[in-house]
Structure 1
Amino acid sequence: MHEMIRCYIGLGSNLDNPRGHVERALQQLADLPDTRLFGHSSLYRSDPVGPPGQPDYVNAVAGLDTTLEAHALLDELQALEQRHQRVRQERWGPRTLDLDLLLYGDKRIDSARLQVPHPYLCQRNFVLWPLAELAPELHLPDGQALSAKLDLCPMGTLERISL
């Protein structure tokens, strides 16, 4: 039996009823094999990052405990994106569902397919603030308190839209 690893997943959508995609994905994360959803943040509205002219995003962060290996978890997340008809056309372009593995325990992973901690974790308010809501006492793999990063990445136009 593998040990449970605490993971955090960033969710985002800005196409075809974004709130519905994020809410359904939160429910579907609870059904992943060898995984338990232990909580999630509120939903947030955020400005799009990337190509201009995109609709606003709905974002959240989910917390999972899993015995899946990191790349196996990534495979499950990408399969879930596909069930939401995710199309990868342009970098940071609009999407029905984006699932990012933000943290996988205290592990650091740098492979062709996966970087953990997520490389933009501390630069994106739509990731940092929901993560801090879900896990206010969290420390990053480098030992720094997540709460210390909030001052460096202000909430700006990010707004909570549901609990």
Structure 2
Amino acid sequence: MKRTIIMAAAASALMLASPASAQGLQVSYPGDAQMDCNAIANESARMDQIVAEANARVVKADGSAQGAGLASTVAVEGMLRAGVLGRVPGAGMFANNAAAMAKQRAAQVRAEAEAQVQTATTRKAVMVGLYSGKGCDAPPAPPAYEPPAGYEAAPAGDAAPVDAPTG
């Protein structure tokens, strides 16, 4: 009976876990066109970070779903061997329902994370377009020619003709 209570508490904790706070990520924002090259590069890097975090949530959700299924199987098997299933009607169904709810929650987290990956990937493409459109990836213009210090050019009208070498 003690095991049943512990399993019920664990299942409740899984079901009542609050979802990860989703950021209201959008593909574009009103101020995007005014961003300078450095800000665009930083935003692009931030999108890479968001994608990595969302992929980590997908992996964690998949692990939680697998863990819930395993926990349910172990709990039902343990209750069966201990004879609890015969004395406590519905205990096996409770364990299976808890596992199903945990799997459903994991699927929801996965779907949210995949949507965030898609939005972040699209936003990064927008940032790459802005970066290229502003010429951020163009090489800097060469510096203007400055004559060496102490050099004075003769006025154009006073120049003496130069004879071409013969030979």
In the superposition, the TM-score normalised over structure 2's length comes to 0.21
Higher strand share: 1
Higher relative contact order (CA 8 A, sep 6+): 2
Higher helix share: 2
In the superposition, the TM-score normalised over structure 1's length comes to 0.22
